[in-house]
Amino acid sequence: MIKKIVLIIALYTGINAFSQSMDCTKFKNIKFYAPAFPSQYAIRKDSIQESYNNDKLEVSWKVKWMSDCKFEIECLKNTGDEQVKVGDKFIYTIIEIEDECFKVAIWYTNDKYPAGDTFERVLCIKKD
């Protein structure tokens, strides 16, 4: 019995020693892009995010941070992306950070997915 308790404590201590919390603060006010879509990028400043395609502003978003690594964006204005409507909301959760890139899980609802759906995307800080 004592061996089991010691083993459980050792495992718990080992897991906690190797786990680390992510620092997502550098992704709050940035210019970033998805490597899968190189002609598109976004600029996030405080509570506003603007999405560009070929240097043309297409979508303006309201940003609400829910925690250090989780935020919601709501479409305020759309002049280009036909798949997004004013009022649409997406919840981003930063799930992994590697150097200047971060992986997000994105949850959303729309007419096609009224119960919601999730996809993942890698985003990276855009250097000019």
Predicted local confidence at residue 17, as pLDDT: 36
φ, ψ (nearest 5 deg) of residue 102: -145, 145
Predicted local confidence at residue 80, as pLDDT: 85
- Residue 35: CB partners within 8 Å, gap ≥ 6? 101, 122, 124
Q: Which two tokens stand for residue 59?
A: 């979508």
pTM, two decimals, is 0.80
Predicted local confidence at residue 113, as pLDDT: 85
Per-10-residue mean pLDDT, the chain, length 128: 43 40 90 96 96 96 97 95 89 96 94 90 93
Task: Walk me through the domains of the chain, giving residue ranges and CATH numbers.
Answer: 23-125 (2.40.128.490)
Q: How far is CA 41 from CA 5, 19, 35, 52, in A?
A: 52, 32, 10, 5
